[in-house]
Structure 1
């Protein structure tokens, strides 16, 4: 009986230790996204998940893809602001600057806005 209790205790300590120290612990961690306007005009931004229209967002670990539309002047673009596979290892707090050429994420290694992306391809709809 003492052997069982000791092993159960050690297993519990190991699980707690791993959940505290591992990035992929038992409790999911959240991502915070911040977008800064650098387009030279007033920027309208609207972000959604595949399930909800959430407004300001804290994205859970391995959460849904989030995409945003950006509009200023006569410009209108889309971008997937958070994709777990692409962004998970980059940041917990993910600041973006929105430029006319596309969004750029802050690079904590270089202290610059140099993780830049192109806008998503425009979706063309056929109306019959």
Structure 2
């Protein structure tokens, strides 16, 4: 009887761990960066994570660049980008950081680049929130 209780206890722990991992690991997330600078201004964009380099992209005015990824079970997924154009030659930001974006982005993590700064879409509220101001 004692051995069966131990086996049951171990099985319960395994089930709890697996359910935790499943709750941390989400389905695919789609990240996108929309160029809304206007006046025909293109953005040079280079995004990457520790494991994936998405290469340098040229995002035309009115266009966007996006990619899909899965959040890892450790909750440490991070995609960061460097971008620039005539007015802002270099800007670095985190396009997806698990700590900041797991609840806010859920399955869609969208950014909008505008003349005054950058906005992030809050998936919980449906509103674009001002996130970064270009330094002058």
TM > 0.5: yes
1:86 is matched with which residue?
100
Q: Does 1:73 align with 2:90?
A: no
Q: Give me the whole-angstrom Cα distance separating, in 2, the residues matched to 1:51 and 1:19.
A: 24
The structure, 1 or 2, with the larger RCO (C-alpha pairs under 8 Å, 6+ apart) is 2
SS at match of 1:33: strand
Q: How far did residue 86 of structure 1 move?
A: 1.4
Report the aligned-residue RMSD.
3.4
Question: Which residue in the other structure is 2:32 paired with?
Answer: 34
Give unpaired runs (5+ residues) of structure 2. 56-66
Question: Which structure 1 residue ranges, 5 or more long, are not aligned?
Answer: 122-128
| Structure-1 separation of matches of 2:83 and 2:47 | 9
In structure 1, C-alpha distance between the alignment counterparts of 2:51 and 2:124, rounded to whole Å? 33
Partners of 1:78 and 1:72 in 2: how far apart? 12
CA change 1:68–1:16 in 2 (3 A) is: closer
Q: 1:1-128 alignment to 2 at 5 Å?
A: 4=4, 7=8, 11=12, 14-15=15-16, 18=19, 23-24=23-24, 28-29=25-26, 30-40=28-38, 41-55=41-55, 56-61=67-72, 62-76=75-89, 77-92=91-106, 93-114=108-129, 116-118=130-132
Aligned residues: 116
Provide TM-score, normalisation by structure 1. Answer: 0.64
**TM-score (norm: length of structure 2):** 0.61
Distance 1:42 1:65, change over 3 A: same
Q: Which has the higher helix share?
A: 2
